[in-house]
Chain A
Amino acid sequence: MMNWIWLFFILSSVIISLFNGKIDEVSNAILSSAQSAVIICFGLIGVMSLWLGLMRIAQESGLIKLIAHFLSPFLKRLFPSIPKNDPVQADIALNVSANALGLGNAATPFGIKAMEGLKRFNPNKPDVASDDMCTFLTINTAGIQLIPVSVIAILMTTGSENPGEILLPTLITTFSALCIGVAFVKCLIKISPNPGRKK
């Protein structure tokens, strides 16, 4: 599916821009976005190392196990492949809470740690996503955030009298999207579960 989406983005952009004369803008976009992707990744090195370092302390001190222990019963239902009290559960919990608090920079290292953990229980070939990886990323892409700080900031600068009034509707929206997404991915998993290692 990713192959098709990628092809669609690229081909449609070129065809459309040939007709509406925006081909030079597309040309610029190709080069500058490739560059900014690298800049983003380099920018990530610092925060990524910082949080992975702190995570290691949390792991050695038993904090991760403690968090996993509390959330185990709940996460067991969502991610059946993870054994009880496995540290991955804490990584998932930390990722979701960092996202919810709007700490996007901290959420990414936690999330990657969680993906590495899920990889250990992937019954498929290593380059094929497991059922639980799909569920985890669906939760992530739904993007639960308690306080969308940048949105509030923009509202405030444009003369909003009560920027806080968007909080509850936003929360209702994300939560509904999350439930619909998870229900949908669980249906897909039921229809076509982990293919295993065979071709």
Chain B
Amino acid sequence: MIGTVSLAIIPLLVAFFVTYGAFHKVPVYETFTEGAKEGFEISIRIIPYLIAMMVAVAMFRASGAIDLLSLAFEPILKWIGMPADLLPLAITRSLSGSGARGIFAEIANTYGGNNPITKTAAVMLGSSETTFYVLSVYFGAIGVKKFRHAVAAGIVADLAGILVALLVSKLFFY
């Protein structure tokens, strides 16, 4: 059911845009190609920003820094009642979407789909967005280099998300 709906959304949306345009006497084909021209330039403009961000994040993940952080944070984790297995996910979810999905798949494989730890991890991943990717792509596209409050607010929202995920999961799954 969920699968069918999300599969149908894109074709329906495309059909709706085009039909609405034609109905309002817009030359849809010409207008489409005119607008699509911008796509190339914007995608290319993002490249340097994305390279900067992805290289730094990939280095960080490859160096084992996340394991080290897990070790350092263990006392705090005990205190807030977070299973240590969830920490790599909590850190990675702001940095790398594919990385976070990989870690989640590992957790789910280890504990099984019905374990509360897996479910907590699911909530943690499902409620997140790769903050650093969003910042570098969106600001990169318009050439903004000073991000001001966006970084701090993104990090605070991520931290809040981790804590709320733990809390809500405690209520729902334990």
Indicate if B123 sits at the interface (CB-CB under 8 A). yes
The answer for the CA separation of A14 and B53 in the assembled complex, in Å, is 16
User: Do A101 and B168 form a contact, CB below 8 Å, given A54-B18, A188-B152?
Assistant: no
Which of B13, B40, B153 has the most chain A CB atoms inside 10 A of its CB?
Answer: B153
Secondary structure call for the B interface: helix
A196 to chain B, nearest CB (A): 13
Contact, CB under 8 Å: B36 / A158: no
A152 nearest in chain B by CB position: B2
Q: Which residues of B contact A141 (CB under 8 A)?
A: 129, 131, 134-135, 150, 153-154, 157-158
Indicate if A140 sits at the interface (CB-CB under 8 A). yes
B144 nearest in chain A by CB position: A129
The answer for the CA separation of A186 and B67 in the assembled complex, in Å, is 34
A110 to chain B, nearest CB (A): 11
The answer for the CA separation of A129 and B147 in the assembled complex, in Å, is 5
Contact, CB under 8 Å: B113 / A160: yes
A162 nearest in chain B by CB position: B114
- Chosen A-B contacts, 30 in total, with CB atoms closer than 8 Å, are A1-B147, A2-B147, A14-B63, A36-B54, A37-B47, A40-B50, A41-B44, A48-B40, A51-B39, A52-B35, A52-B42, A53-B34, A57-B32, A101-B6, A109-B42, A112-B42, A112-B141, A131-B149, A137-B135, A147-B2, A151-B122, A157-B113, A158-B109, A158-B113, A166-B119, A166-B122, A169-B169, A173-B165, A174-B161, A177-B160
Interface residues of B, Cβ cutoff 8 Å to A: 2-3, 6, 9-10, 13-14, 17-18, 20-21, 23-24, 26, 28, 31-40, 42-44, 46-47, 50-65, 68, 101, 104-105, 108-109, 112-114, 118-119, 122-129, 131, 134-135, 137-139, 141-154, 156-158, 160-161, 164-165, 168-169, 171-173
